[in-house]
Amino acid sequence: MNKNILLMADVVSNEKGVDKETIFAALEAALSSATKERYGDESDVRVSIDQNTGDYESYRRWTVLEDDSEEFEFPERQIKLSYARKDYPDIEPGEVIEQKIDSIDFGRIGAQRAKQVIVQKVREAERAQVVEAYKHRIGELLTGLIKRLERGAVIVDLGGSAEAIIPREHMIPREPARPGDRIRGYLYDVGPQVRGPQLFMSRTLPQFLMELFKLEVPEIAQGLIELKGAARDPGLRAKIAVQAKDKRIDPVGACVGMRGSRVQSVSNELAGERVDIVPWDENPAQFVINAMSPAEVENVVIDEDAHSMSIGVAEDKLAQAIGRGGQNVRLASELTGWTLNVMTTGDLESKKDEENRGILDVFMQELDVDAELAGVLVDEGFTSLEEVAYVPTEELLKIEEFDESIVEELRNRARDVLLTKAIAKAERAASVKPADDLLAINGMDEETAYLLAEAGIITAENLADLATDELLETVQLDENRAQALIMAARQKLYA
C-alpha cells in the first residue's frame, strides 16, 4: 500500500504539473478524513506521510484551553488545562497534545474519496499558480480562444490551465462571439475565486483602446508619442488624446497611419468602432476645442469654480457638435474631464451678456460705483470682488480710465465688502450649518450651501425634493445654476 501512495503522487504530479508537496498534502487530508470516521467526525486527526518510503503515521490531537475558556465546546478535540497538566506539567494554553493512534489502511479509505480530495487540492494549487502567473500582468492585452458562453459572459482559454472571463458588460454590444473564435481583451483584475475563472478581461474599457494603439503605432512604444487618455462608447465611437514628445512628429498622422491603416486595424478589432484621434493641449480650452472635433467651436466660456465650459457653435453645426444621443459632447467631456454645455453662438453670447449684467449689478451694488465704472471692470475681464481686491495694483493701473486714487479706493471698498461677508459667514456658521452631503454636491460651493442652509435647505435630500421655481422663490440664484444643483442632488441620492 505504501508503494501505491508514492505511485499516485508521481502520476498526479506529472499529469497535472503540480508539485509533490501539494499532492502529499492532499493524500494526508484524505487519510485524515477517513480516520475521523473511526474516532468521530468532531475529532482532530493529523496524518504524516514519509515522502521517501510512503509510510505514514496517524495522530489524534487536542488543543489546550484555559479551564474557564468560553471556547471549550468540543471535548473530542479540546482539553482543559488542568487535565492536560496531569500528563504534561509544562504545557500551556494554545498548545496541542498529540497521541499516536492506529493508522487505517490506504486501501480502506476508498479510491473515490482519495480522488475527490486530491482533485480539489490540485485544482486549488492550479488556481493559485494561475493567480501567481498573471497577477503581475494586469494592464496587458491577452489573447485566447473562446471556450464557452455563460449568460452573455465569455470564458476564454488562455492556454495551460488558465481561463479568463469577459463579463457581459465588458463585451462590445452586438459583437459576435462563438466557441473556438480567437479573442483579445484587456486584463483589468486578477483575484482568487471559489469557482470559475479568476482572470477578468475587458473589451470595453478605454485602456483596451489605448493598448491596441500601442500595438499598432511603433512611435508610442518608442516613447515618441504619449497617450493622454481615452473615452469610449463601445462599438460605436471613441476619442483618444495623443501628444508628441518630439515636435517634428505629427501624433495624429502617426496614429492614423498610411491611408488610415493603423486606426483602421484598431477599429476592426473593436467591431467597427469609429475612433477620433485628438491632439492633447495643456490649455484646457484648446484641448476641449480639439476634443469636440469634427464640430467647429466658435466660442468658449470657462467656469473654473464649476469646472465647466460653455461651448458656442454655429447654429447649423449644433446637431453635429452634440452628436447622436449627445454622444460627441459626452465623449469630449469624459476625455477632457470638463463638464461641457453646448449651445449656439447666439445663445452663448446671450448667456454671457446675462452673466455680465449680473456681474455689473454686483459691482455697482457692492462697490457703490456707477454703471460706467462697473462696466469698465467687466469689459476688462473682472468677474468677482476678490479679483478687484487682490490682483496686483499694476494690473488695475493698466486700465486706461483708472488712476492711482481710483484703484486704491476700489481695492479698499472690495476688501471691506469681503471682510463684512466673511464676518457674516462666520456668524451664520455658528447658527446654522449645511450637512456634509449638501456641501459634497457637484457644483456646490460653501457660500451657496450656507445660503441654502439659512433658508432651511440643510441636506442634499432637502434640495433634491425641490422644484427649480420653489428653490428660486427661497434663495436668489441663477435659474440654470439652481436647476443644475437640484439635478446634482438627485443624482447623488438616487444614482
- Structurally, how many domains does the chain consist of? 5
Query: pLDDT at residue 487 above 60?
Result: yes
Q: Rounded to an integer, what distance in angstroms lies between the CA atom of residue 90 and that of residue 88? A: 6
**Rg of the Cα trace of the chain?**
36
Q: Rounded to an integer, what distance in angstroms lies between the CA atom of residue 301 and that of residue 309? A: 6
Residue where one domain finishes, among candidates 346, 366, 386: 366
Residues 482 and 386 reside in one and the same domain: yes
Q: Are 228 and 241 in contact (CB under 8 A)?
A: yes
Q: What is the pLDDT of residue 115?
A: 64
Query: pLDDT at residue 4 above 80?
Result: no
Residues 288 and 398 reside in one and the same domain: no
| pLDDT level of residue 16 (50, 70, 90 thresholds) | low
What is the SS3 assignment for 463? Answer: helix
Q: Rounded to an integer, what distance in angstroms lies between the CA atom of residue 107 and that of residue 110? A: 6
Query: pLDDT at residue 22 above 90?
Result: no
Query: pLDDT at residue 112 above 80?
Result: no
What is the SS3 assignment for 194? Answer: coil
Residue 409 φ/ψ region, left for φ over 0, alpha for ψ in the -120 to 50 degree band, beta for the rest: alpha
Query: What's the chain's average pLDDT?
Result: 87
Q: What pLDDT digit, counting tens, does each position of 342-376 carry?
A: 999 888 888 888 888 888 898 898 888 888 888 88
Beta-bridge partner residues of 199: 164, 190
Q: Are 188 and 117 in contact (CB under 8 A)?
A: no
Q: What is the pLDDT of residue 42?
A: 80
Instruction: Answer whether residue 146 is part of any domain.
Output: yes
Name every residue whose Cβ is closer than 8 Å to that of residue 116 and which is 6 or more positions away in sequence: none
Task: Looking at mean pLDDT, say which of 112-126, 327-341, 356-370, 372-386 comes out highest.
Answer: 327-341
Residues 6 and 38 reside in one and the same domain: yes
| pLDDT level of residue 428 (50, 70, 90 thresholds) | low
Cell (9 digits) for 401: 480710465
What beta strand segments (E) does 124-181 contain? 141-150, 153-159, 162-166
Q: Specify the DSSP class assigned to residue 258.
A: G
Average pLDDT over residues 56-70: 89
Residues 407 and 440 reside in one and the same domain: yes
Q: What is the pLDDT of residue 239?
A: 96
Q: What is the pLDDT of residue 108?
A: 55
Instruction: Answer whether residue 143 is part of any domain.
Output: yes
Number of neighbouring beta carbons within 10 Å of residue 258: 7
More confidently predicted of 433 and 80 = 80
Instruction: Answer whether residue 131 is part of any domain.
Output: no
Residues 335 and 439 reside in one and the same domain: no
Q: What is the pLDDT of residue 335?
A: 95
What is the SS3 assignment for 442? Answer: coil
Residue/partner pairs of 464-470 with CB below 8 Å, 24 or more apart: 464/489, 464/490, 464/492, 464/493, 464/494
Residue where one domain finishes, among candidates 324, 351, 366: 366
What is the SS3 assignment for 340? Answer: strand
Query: pLDDT at residue 110 above 60?
Result: no
Residues 485 and 430 reside in one and the same domain: yes
Residues 114 and 161 reside in one and the same domain: no
Average pLDDT over residues 140-157: 92
Q: What pLDDT digit, counting tens, does each position of 183-228 carry?
A: 999 999 987 666 666 899 999 999 999 999 999 999 998 999 999 9
Average pLDDT over residues 410-414: 90
What beta strand segments (E) does 260-319 contain? 274-279, 297-303, 308-313
Instruction: Answer whether residue 132 is part of any domain.
Output: no
Query: pLDDT at residue 1 above 60?
Result: no
pTM higher than 0.85, yes or no? no
Q: What is the pLDDT of residue 229?
A: 94
What is the SS3 assignment for 141? Answer: strand
Percent of the chain with pLDDT over 90: 37
CATH classification of the domain holding 418: 1.10.150.20
Residues 489 and 463 reside in one and the same domain: yes
Query: pLDDT at residue 244 above 90?
Result: yes
Residues 103 and 143 reside in one and the same domain: no
Instruction: Answer whether residue 133 is part of any domain.
Output: no
Length of the chain: 495
More confidently predicted of 259 and 128 = 259
Percent of the chain with pLDDT over 70: 94
Residues 10 and 113 reside in one and the same domain: yes
Domain range enclosing 293: 281-366
Query: pLDDT at residue 240 above 70?
Result: yes
Q: What is the pLDDT of residue 234?
A: 94
